[in-house]
Chains A and B, each alone.
Chain A
């Protein structure tokens, strides 16, 4: 486990001492507060990102973890040049992102879950035609790339239907196609599976892995779904309250962050909390449904005992939501 960035010679993404401070209005609630704010507008500074340093090598698939408001999206916006850092330096694909040079823009893409670049009332193919022209991809080549990416994403007729008529999953896949048509070397993906059902999530995940393998693209991925991170990212960055706390292997982090797995039980009859104390930590009991946290190393044994001892109708095992894990971790001060 490493708490500082590792010096990498051939980094394609390099952030050094990166910081971003926002100026936000500070208003008290109520009419009096509104009038005071109108006459004497007060602002305060919020440090969204502070002294963040890391580097990523070409072809790496890196997960970017943190609770809501931790500074993930602000960092991604700085890496893509959408916003200017208050302090520190950024270099992506040999360019300074905030200069927004065509050479740089042609090498990156930013995909934001539930934000779209496709023209809402037209089929995705119309937006793809525009993107091909914008990036100067010859028509024949763009047709070839669309066919290739559509096959990888399992998209067919959907590309000819108006975007507004597509399901969320189909739209996200079409968004990915549009974002990758110019074959960027660096992908910044901000919650690309947000709101998708489990099947659609799995398809997007497998596409991203495939894309990374096939084109050697570098990927920095933020996701609230632990499954995305575990399936795709051998390395993760963990950010909390704007500061980078962890930069290293996922396995080490998982053991440290989520030593327990969540076991959900549906019982034939409701039971009191004392009935579960010997199996693990009781997270919640709602009627016949129970959620337990069981240490990873004892999981198999305890699940076997639960099934043998209790009248279990249904049982499932999952990682607790990453939000909960990280929240608990920082609450307990385990990392800090």
Chain B
């Protein structure tokens, strides 16, 4: 017989608190590495430099101030939507660490979710520092988003993280059949890079490419939350509906592959 709902909720709350705090403590042990990772995520700033140079004549349709705010927002969104579950899962699978986790009455995915959220918490001060530095160097770009934009951007960033995590975790299931499944993620990184809005706001793309991009899940992972944060116009309802539709498509595939994968699991290295 299942325990009452209140008891299950209390158990889930305690579990979440303990998992997050232990993973945060673990991530703090690697804070130097995380700072370097945060610093290595400055691609949007490089792209800002490039596009600002290209846009010297102002023919792109976005002012230099808009570009600066977009790329700063893209940097922030990117920092909180980085997903690396496939690499960790692949290593855990090859080294046998997966087996003890599979023998505990806790769906494995929550360990990885907690690790990602804790890593984001560890990144937070360094991201704030870099944002402060950006405004110091480029004070004209400073802006305060309205409370509603900020909350909406946070929600969109969280949804973007969830979608990216779900997509990568679904691909991760290939690890049950292949020892080098992470190559797939590297392959997927290219469309992610070009269609997510990391190299340029999608508003600057030719219309046909932009229309195509919005049929893929990628623009919702950077472009949409970044534009909300930067105060650019966004079709909010349509974007959240698209994210929900992608999640609804990926989730059953993920569950199916998980069940099949477990049947195929050979507990390597264990």
User: Chain A interface (Cβ within 8 Å of chain B)?
Assistant: 22, 73, 77, 80-84, 98, 100, 102, 105-106, 108-110, 112, 115-117, 119, 121-122, 126-127, 129-136
Contacts and interface: CB of A to CB of B under 8 A. Distances in A.
Interface string B250-270: 000000000000110111011
A82 B99 contact: yes
Contacts of A135: 104-105
B106 interface: yes
Nearest to A131: B104
A136 B22 contact: no
Contact of B270 (A115, A126, A130): A115
B100 interface: yes
A105 B101 CA distance: 11
B99 A133 contact: no
Task: Tell me whether chain A's interface is mostly helix, strand or loop, or mixed.
Answer: mixed
A84 B263 contact: yes
B25 interface: yes
22 contacts: A22-B266, A77-B99, A77-B267, A80-B103, A82-B99, A82-B103, A82-B270, A83-B265, A84-B262, A98-B263, A110-B100, A110-B103, A112-B270, A115-B96, A115-B269, A116-B100, A117-B100, A122-B25, A122-B29, A126-B22, A133-B15, A136-B11
B26 interface: yes
Given A112-B270, A121-B26, A121-B29, A82 B18 contact: no
Contacts of B99: 77, 82, 110, 112, 115
B266 to A, nearest CB: 6
Given A122-B22, A122-B26, A126-B25, A134 B103 contact: no
Task: Tell me whether chain B's interface is mostly helix, strand or loop, or mixed.
Answer: helix
Contacts of B242: none
Interface in B22-52: 22, 25-26, 29-30
Nearest to A118: B100
Contacts of A109: 103
B29 A117 contact: no
Going nearest first, the 9 A-B pairs with the smallest beta carbon separation are: A117-B100, A102-B105, A133-B18, A105-B105, A121-B29, A82-B267, A133-B15, A134-B106, A126-B22
Contacts of A82: 99, 102-103, 265, 267, 270
A271 to B, nearest CB: 47
B229 to A, nearest CB: 34
Looking at B19, B97, B101, B266, the one whose CB has the most chain A CB atoms below 10 A away is B266
How many B residues are at the interface, by size bracket? 20 to 34
Nearest to A110: B103
A132 B266 CA distance: 28
Contacts of B96: 112, 115
Nearest to B99: A82
Contacts of B15: 133-134
Given A115-B97, A119-B22, 9 more contacts: A82-B99, A84-B262, A106-B105, A112-B270, A115-B96, A116-B100, A127-B22, A132-B18, A134-B105
B270 A108 contact: no
Nearest to B263: A84
Looking at B15, B18, B19, the one whose CB has the most chain A CB atoms below 10 A away is B18
Nearest to A78: B267
B26 A119 contact: yes
A232 to B, nearest CB: 22
B180 interface: no
A143 to B, nearest CB: 14
Given A22-B266, A126-B22, A133-B14, A105 B104 contact: yes
Nearest to A105: B105
A22 B268 CA distance: 12
Looking at B26, B97, B105, B269, the one whose CB has the most chain A CB atoms below 10 A away is B105
Given A83-B266, A84-B263, A133-B15, A105 B103 contact: yes
B176 to A, nearest CB: 12
A130 B22 contact: yes
Interface string B214-245: 00000000000000000000000000000000
Contacts of B104: 105, 131, 134-135
Contacts of B30: 121
Contacts of A134: 15, 104-106
